[in-house]
Amino acid sequence: MKIEEVKDKVQGKIEEVEDKVQGNIEEVEDKVQGKIEEVKEKVQVKIGDLEKRLRELEDRPNNFPSNPDLTYSRPTVKSLTFDGQTSWTVFKTQFDVVSSANGWNNRVKASQLVASLRGTVAEVLQGIPSDKLTDLMTIENALEARFRDGHLTQFYRTELKTSEARRKPSGISRQCGATNEPGLRRVPSGCPRQPSSPILCRRYQR
């Protein structure tokens, strides 16, 4: 009899806990749903404001008096240039923003992209068939393959090696006491090409 009572009490506690958990879940769901509805309302308000502004912009040319001297034109954003020494990903993002602001279609975007290439970057166009030079996807793929961001690492390594090679003195200059100090940049004219000792070299420097 006692075992049955214990079972009943345990079962009662379990049901009580389940009821509390279910109540908490429903409370959280209500709060979440409330937040979702609140966000939806705010988004709808923003969308309504944007649609209103777009309609105002579309109707604006009709509000001007009929005067041939007054013309309405869409503002344009200055085109960019790409020389291969900056990130292709960054340039591509900026180019997309500019093309969207200017209202370019893909054909115009292709011509503007070709016109933006500078220096050796334009050599990429030599590998594109002439009938594809107005195809935006073909041009972008060619530039992506050649100038993806990994090429910058190799570019800067080459620049660093070139810079170090220019700064590195020759072996003869070091032996003859040539340093970065003023007046000792050049090897004295009387100094042998391979002096036998620093003392002999100093004699020629005098």
Q: Which pLDDT does position 114 carry in this prediction? A: 92
d(CA 60, CA 53): 10
3-class DSSP assignment, residue 199:
helix
Q: Whole-model pTM?
A: 0.39
**Domain residue ranges of the chain, discontinuous segments joined by +:** 1-61, 88-163
DSSP assignment of 147-185, as one string?
HSTHHHHHHHHHHHHHHHHHHSPPHHHHHTT--SSTT-S
In the predicted structure, residue 36 carries a pLDDT above the cut 60: yes
Question: In this predicted model, what pLDDT tens digit does every residue of 38-87 receive, in sequence order?
Answer: 888 888 888 888 888 887 777 655 544 545 554 445 556 677 888 888 78
3-class DSSP assignment, residue 117:
strand
Length of the chain: 206
In the predicted structure, residue 130 carries a pLDDT above the cut 50: yes
d(CA 62, CA 42): 31
CA distances from 37 to 13, 33, 63, 69 (A): 36, 6, 38, 50
